Amino acid sequence: MSSRLHRIDSHWGRAAGAGACVLAVVAGALFIESIVADDVSAVPNPYMGREATHTVSIESDGSYDVHIDQTMELARGFEFSFGGMVHDGFRLPDTESVLPPYLRAQYSDPAITMDGQSAEVSVEHTVHAVDISARHDFTEGEHEGTVDYRVTGAAVGAEHGPTAAEEDGVTVYLRPLVPGDVIVTSAEPIMMVECEKWAPDAEPCGHKSGDAWLIGNDELEGDAVVRITLDADEAELIEPEIDSTK
């Protein structure tokens, strides 16, 4: 009997010792977490908020100019970039080609200001992405920037686009450079605007306001594409580049 009690005492002794070790580990983890939390709070995420509005002006030949107004607020000094990166291709509806055809756009005439001062613009091409941006070491507080660039070769006749079975015209493709609202104006009447989240499917989006078409940032999730169908003459378009190789 005494031997059995000894074994039970030993068992509970080991359990108590293990429990004490667990409590010590938990307490130590909480202490470390407290230190880390205090350290993180001392160096907060610098981004307090960012907003952008794209104003897109489409010409009769399908080319368009983009003007972006960007604002951002920093909780501390930080190196920040105005502008961003965008894919240069727009997937057209599938054909009998092995790979789906892509409309390759050309980006040119970049210009950026930061807090009212002209900035040196960096334009980098990586495979089928183009980065138009300018970086700077900013102080704590709110800062404003503008980004301008021109896009050509991003329009095709509607018979080559998703609305071919519905009506003639021209389809202009747009992908916002940074997340934000989009305001579209056109020299030719806008017949329809669609947002394409999963190419080549799209849904009507935005709404007409006067002579412009407004599309909210919440309708442009991720890397969404805007397709704008115009009542325009395909013969006036700048010759597009169709790429079915990659």
For the chain, the structural domain boundaries read 1-43, 47-243
Whole-angstrom Cα distance, residue 147 to residue 12? 71
pTM: 0.75
Phi and psi, residue 124, nearest 5° = -125, 135
The pLDDT of residue 44 is 62
Question: pLDDT 10s per residue in the chain (246 long)?
Answer: 444 444 444 444 454 454 444 444 444 544 444 434 444 444 566 655 578 899 999 999 999 999 999 887 777 666 677 888 988 889 887 656 667 788 999 999 999 998 888 888 888 888 889 999 887 666 676 888 899 999 999 999 976 555 444 557 999 999 999 989 999 999 999 999 999 887 767 889 999 999 999 999 989 877 789 999 999 989 889 888 888 776
CATH annotation of 47-243 = 2.60.40
Contact 147, 118 (CB under 8 A): no
Whole-angstrom Cα distance, residue 55 to residue 53? 7
